[in-house]
Structure 1
Amino acid sequence: MRVLDSHLHLWDPELLHYTWLEGPLAWLFGETEIEHARIGNATSERAVFVQAETIEDDFLDEVRWVASLAARIGVVGIVAGARLDRGTDTTAHLEGLAAEPLVVGVRHNLQGESDGLAVSAAFVTGAREVAAHGWAFDACIRASQLPEVARLAGAVPELRIVLDHLGKPQVGTADAPVAPTMEWVRDLDDLARHPNVLCKLSGLPAEAGGDWSAEQMHPFLDAAADAFGAERLMWGSDWPVSVIGPAEADDPYANEDGTPMYQPTARSRWADAVSGWAERRGHDVDAIMWRNAEEFYRVGARPPREDAREERPRRGFLGWLRGDRA
């Protein structure tokens, strides 16, 4: 099975600035870390990097850092951070991003924004500029914001939009699963009526706090398939956000107090869960795990570029697991 991960994060808190990292996530997740999280049964593995919510001043530096790693880790496209509601500042930022060959899309993280921003005149203007550059837009929202993204899709039909994490519905946990709500299914169906919108099968493990089962997720995957069709779905790992939770069985580094920690096999487990579901349902597994993301982000003929980088001392989570926690 070949895998094009449509939603991979990387970060380096010693190089860039983040205000949201805490606990097991507040460490470097870069080249070495992703090499230890490869998908076990993948015959070929590539990824699209999605901006990791640095501070705004670091958006362009984040792109350049990831581009410097891309060839070695298999990143074939970058979804860059951008604010689309800043008028001439938005225009200038997008022009700066246009000089970076690996940029294939942008994300203005909407999940914490006030109601109405995504359909404001300033945002719609910025969205049209994104489309004019030939880029896609990642919509990271909460379930209540699905109607707003549908309005954006209608206002800018030339903009390719992908819904991150199925709109973050409540899923419960493995022991206490929650069924999809009628409101979420309705709003997902309404969004899918816009042909310029696709959906990422990503992020649900994080919504379960890392305590999930494949069977628990099937109703949500089924709802997405019913709404979008398999030809508009793409798999994403949401690594490393979606690999934090209770210790996996037989993990020698498990926290004695039971607090959440990094789950070494969770990325592979999520790939297996989605590909196994797709196969059982008779969906095109290669389309969901590779081809749809390749076509949406237009990365089929885009090899990673090789850039030099300066070696620096590392403080990644692997060192943290081994006791380097000072």
Structure 2
Amino acid sequence: MRVLDSHLHLWDPELLHYAWLEGPLAWLFGTTEIENSRIVRATTEKAVFVQAETVEDDFLDEVRWVASLADRVGVVGIVAGARLDRDTDTTAHLEGLAAEPLVVGVRHNLQGEPDGLAVSAAFVTGAREVAARDWTFDACVRAEQLPEIARLAGAVPELRIVLDHLGKPEVGTADAPVAPSMEWVRDLDDLARHPQVFCKLSGLPGEAGGDWSAEQLEPFLDAAADAFGVERLMWGSDWPVSVIGPAEEGYEYAPEDGSPTYQPTARSRWADAVIAWAERRGHDLDAILWRNAEEFYRIGERPPHTDAREERPRRGVLGWLRGERS
């Protein structure tokens, strides 16, 4: 079974700057960590790296760092960080990204932005520049922002957009599940009417705070399939954001105070949950796990990347869990 993870993060707080990392996430997540979090059922595993919200000045450095790890990690495309509302500065930044062969798209993280930004004149101009370069746009928004992305899709119909994390609907937890809201289903359907918009089956474990069950999340997968059709869905792990939560049963490094921690098998469990759901529904599994992301990001049209640089040793989350703290 081949898997192209459409939403993988990597980060190194000693090398780049992130204002949002805290707790178990505030550690290196690089080659060693992802190697210990592979998908059990995958015979071939590749990934699209999605920008990890470094500070703006580090956007290009992040791309170069990930490119240096690409062969070892299996990254075949990079969705770079970009601000699309910076006018000439946006243009200059996109020109800088164009020199990086693994860049396939950009993400301006919108979930914390003021209402209306994604349809402002400056943002729409920036989005048109992205489309002109034949790149994609990852839309990371809250559920109430879905209508804004539909308006962006209408304003720039040539832009290929993918909705991250199904629009981050409220899902509850395994013990207290929340059913899909009528408003979210309505707005998802409206967005899906734009044929250039795709949807990632990603991020729901993170929305549940790492406390989730397959049964709890399947209604959201069904709603996405009904809205977009299987041909516009792609699986993503949202690793490592979506693998933080209650300690897994039998986990030897579980915090004594019960606080959230790293879940070593959660990435593979999320893949298994989506695989089982797709098989029961009779959906095209290879399309969801590989082909749709490959076609959306046009991975097969780009030459393979090689980089001979060696990654210098750093202390990652696995060492922290084992008590190897300095």
Q: What is the TM-score when the length of structure 1 is the normalising length?
A: 0.99
2-side partners of 1:205 and 1:28: how far apart? 21
**1:69/1:306 contact within 8 Å kept:** no
**1:72/1:306 contact within 8 Å kept:** no
2:139 match: 139
1:320 match: 320
Amino acid at match of 2:30: G
Is 1:102 aligned to residue 112 of structure 2?
A: no
Is 1:309 aligned to residue 306 of structure 2?
A: no
2-side partners of 1:38 and 1:323: how far apart? 23
* Residue 18 of structure 1: how far off its partner (Å): 0.2
Q: Deviations over 1:143-174 (max 9, x none)?
A: 00000000000000000000000000000000
1:12 match: 12
Q: Secondary structure of the equivalent of 1:171?
A: coil
1-side partners of 2:29 and 2:149: how far apart? 30
Amino acid at match of 2:137: F
2-side partners of 1:67 and 1:219: how far apart? 37
**2:67/2:307 contact within 8 Å kept:** yes
Amino acid at match of 1:249: E
Is 1:247 aligned to residue 247 of structure 2?
A: yes
* Residue 311 of structure 1: how far off its partner (Å): 4.1
Q: Deviations over 1:249-293 (max 9, x none)?
A: 110111111000000000000000011101100110000000000
Amino acid at match of 2:188: L
Amino acid at match of 1:145: Q
1-side partners of 2:88 and 2:285: how far apart? 43
Is 1:31 aligned to residue 53 of structure 2?
A: no
2-side partners of 1:290 and 1:321: how far apart? 32
Amino acid at match of 1:174: A
1-side partners of 2:169 and 2:133: how far apart? 31
Q: Secondary structure of the equivalent of 2:218?
A: helix
* Residue 302 of structure 1: how far off its partner (Å): 3.5
2-side partners of 1:302 and 1:214: how far apart? 35
2-side partners of 1:310 and 1:57: how far apart? 24
Q: Secondary structure of the equivalent of 1:28?
A: coil
Same amino acid, percent of matched pairs: 86
**1:164/1:202 contact within 8 Å kept:** yes
2:52 match: 52
1:179 match: 179
- Where does the alignment leave 5 or more consecutive residues of structure 1 unmatched? none
**2:69/2:311 contact within 8 Å kept:** no
* Runs of 4+ residues deviating >6 angstroms: none
* Residue 304 of structure 1: how far off its partner (Å): 4.0
Amino acid at match of 2:65: W
* Residue 313 of structure 1: how far off its partner (Å): 3.1
Q: Deviations over 1:287-310 (max 9, x none)?
A: 000000000000024354221324
1:268 match: 268
1:119 match: 119
2-side partners of 1:191 and 1:70: how far apart? 33
Q: Secondary structure of the equivalent of 2:250?
A: coil
Q: What is the root-mean-square deviation in Å for CA atoms of aligned residues?
A: 0.8
2:157 match: 157
Is 1:86 aligned to residue 91 of structure 2?
A: no
Is 1:40 aligned to residue 32 of structure 2?
A: no
* Residue 314 of structure 1: how far off its partner (Å): 1.0
Amino acid at match of 1:61: D
1:298 match: 298
**1:76/1:303 contact within 8 Å kept:** no
* Residue 321 of structure 1: how far off its partner (Å): 1.1
Larger CA deviation: 313-322 vs 39-48: 313-322
Amino acid at match of 1:280: R
1-side partners of 2:20 and 2:187: how far apart? 29
**1:141/1:167 contact within 8 Å kept:** yes
Is 1:278 aligned to residue 264 of structure 2?
A: no
* Residue 325 of structure 1: how far off its partner (Å): 2.7
2-side partners of 1:2 and 1:216: how far apart? 26
* Residue 73 of structure 1: how far off its partner (Å): 1.1
